[in-house]
Amino acid sequence: MTNRPKCLPITMLLGLGVAACEVPEDDPLGAMEADSEQTDASAMAESDGGDDDGPAADLDLDPGVILGRTVVLGPEGPVELTYENRHGIAIVGGDVELGPVDELPPPEDVDLASLSNLSIDDATHEQGFTAVPIWGEPWPNGIVYYMLPDTGWPALDAQINQGIATMEAQTNFDFIAIPAVFSPFLSHIHFSVTATIDSGGLSDSIGRKGGRQHIRFSVVDQFFNDPPSDRLVLHELGHALGLFHEHQRPDRNDFVVYWPQCVEEGQHHNFHKVSGLMWGPYDVSSVMHYRASTLGDACDPLMSLTGATLGGDVLSNGDIAALNWSASF
């Protein structure tokens, strides 16, 4: 993209069921590049409260990226999401893994009305699904079972243990390590490494998915012995315990300016606002909030209207309150 000077400001949980359709890789719109006037107009629309989340925004601003559509039934009804097809795996928001793309049926093959009564124990094959990501289920009584990765990477184990210790010290969640023999019988978080990502982490659920759910870190980082930061571990644990990205809340524009022309090419879909249940007031210091420079190219994609620092390194008071509410079920 064209280099630009830094811009000046102008201005959690999801529910049950998923249906998806793939945007064809050869869609002519997918090859369109927004010129500078279109990009500037998008920035102005966003700062004035416009909606940057429509299909046109996906295709115009993320050329060359294979994107798909997903409908998630949240507390207020169907919610449209955009996912990236990354090596055949559907990724939402950059770090939430929905599962294999070829296991996500198109919306027309699913009776959406029937999904409103789904739970993680339902036989979902009757609804036409082969693998349904369930978002938003709580961990009963705040008890979370987990397994450490069998990778021989002590630095990763230390960071995971530190993140768990922080969660236990600052929230009402309790973590219990289990041996592999219990894995088929208990819903639990399984930490592992993967080649699906170049760096960072992935969670395959927001809240309790049921059975084994994964928090994955990068095998590339393992190769260079570059373990995840405290913030990254807390962020991915936040997803698994029920939190979504703060910067994707539908009320973001009241607190943060979003400049799409500052975003790395192919990463705009990670900033789309998502409707759904919002817990508490907007929290710029949340560990679930992108930092101002995250996925930036030559300038910062996000800027606080009050000048506050975006994205904390530790759990904020808002994070703790939201997690304690989730742990109360």
| Proportion of the chain above pLDDT 90, given as a percent | 50
Q: How many CB atoms lie within 10 A of CB 225?
A: 10
Q: Which of 104-108, 258-262, 308-312 has the lowest mean pLDDT?
A: 104-108
Identify the residue with better confidence: 217 or 59: 217
C-alpha to C-alpha distance for 102 and 26, rounded to whole angstroms: 17
Among 66-70, 131-135, 252-256, the range of highest mean pLDDT: 252-256
C-alpha to C-alpha distance for 175 and 127, rounded to whole angstroms: 33
Residue type, 43: A
Identify the residue with better confidence: 108 or 261: 261
**The pLDDT value given to residue 54:** 46
**The pLDDT value given to residue 136:** 62
| Proportion of the chain above pLDDT 70, given as a percent | 68
**The pLDDT value given to residue 44:** 39
Provide the 3-class DSSP secondary structure of residue 160: helix
pLDDT digits (tens, 9 = 90+) for 262-284: 999 999 999 998 876 578 899 99
C-alpha to C-alpha distance for 218 and 200, rounded to whole angstroms: 6
3-state helix, strand, coil in the chain (%, to 5): 30, 20, 50
Where helices occur in the chain by DSSP H, the ranges are 36-47, 55-61, 112-115, 154-170, 219-223, 230-241, 317-326
C-alpha to C-alpha distance for 81 and 18, rounded to whole angstroms: 10
**The pLDDT value given to residue 43:** 39
Ordered domains of the chain (ranges, CATH) = 16-136+244-314 (no CATH), 140-241 (3.40.390.10)
C-alpha to C-alpha distance for 87 and 66, rounded to whole angstroms: 10
Cβ-contact 295, 301 below 8 angstroms: yes
**The pLDDT value given to residue 105:** 66
Provide the 3-class DSSP secondary structure of residue 270: helix
Cβ-contact 79, 20 below 8 angstroms: no
**The pLDDT value given to residue 110:** 60
**The pLDDT value given to residue 5:** 32
Sign of the dihedral defined by the CA atoms of residues 280, 282, 283, 289, in that order: positive
CA-wise closest residue to 248 among 94, 97, 104 = 94
Q: How many CB atoms lie within 10 A of CB 24?
A: 11
Reply yes or no on whether the pLDDT at 128 is more than 90. Answer: no
Q: Regarding beta strands 77-86 and 89-92, do their DSSP bridges make them parallel or antiparallel, or are they unpaired?
A: antiparallel
Q: How many CB atoms lie within 10 A of CB 168?
A: 14
Rounded to two decimals, the pTM is: 0.79
Q: Mean pLDDT throughout 89-111?
A: 79
pLDDT digits (tens, 9 = 90+) for 5-47: 333 322 244 333 344 444 444 433 333 333 333 334 333 334 3
pLDDT digits (tens, 9 = 90+) for 280-322: 899 999 999 999 999 999 899 999 999 999 999 999 999 999 9
